Amino acid sequence: MWRISSAVEQRNHNPLVGGSNPSFATTARHVSPIPRARFPGSDLRLAAALLTGALLALLALPEQAWSQRQLPAEASFGEMTRFAYPLVTIGKGTFRMAPGGKIYNQQNLIIMPAAAPARANVLFKLDTAGELSGIWLLTAQEAARFRKPATPGTTPPVKPPADKPKDNPSTLGGN
């Protein structure tokens, strides 16, 4: 094969005529811009080994690392009792959803306000204007973590029964 075209082809080249080849179009050898490996398949074996190592490292993670989602630490816990978009009642307060506020379901997917339940345990964040910038619907396990537990060792004060009169020392044993 010829590496370059002949002088006749170069003289007769007309770019306006289809099928008239310039000299660079008739070169026989194709040069790849990517250099070939010395040992065929070695790059493939290396990539497979790296992928296998990465999968083994992921499988070695504890189950909790897979199952727990990242919830904001600065969010507040509450029970959402009414959701009538854009107003949301959480606990004893009624808040307005902020423009661009997001609602995350238990799988941490963003849901539309029409898909939000009316009652749920939630974490919520307020923006600087006091509007809801984010609501996270919690699973039962997540809600149990965020609920304030009763302090151990304390009991509510006991009131004496109203029907039983108190003992008066002056009325005891005496005429």
Q: What span, in angstroms and rounded, lies between the C-alpha atoms of 97 and 111?
A: 14
Lowest mean pLDDT of 47-51, 71-75, 85-89, name the range. Answer: 47-51
Examine the pLDDT at 106 and tell me if it is beyond 60: yes
Q: What is the pTM of this model?
A: 0.50
**The dihedral sign for the CA sequence 101, 106, 112, 116:** negative
| Sequence-distant (≥ 6) Cβ neighbours of residue 43 within 8 angstroms | 37
Output the pLDDT for position 111: 95
Q: What span, in angstroms and rounded, lies between the C-alpha atoms of 5 and 26?
A: 6
Examine the pLDDT at 105 and tell me if it is beyond 90: yes
First-to-final CA distance of the chain: 140
Helix (H) or strand (E) holding 141: helix 140-146
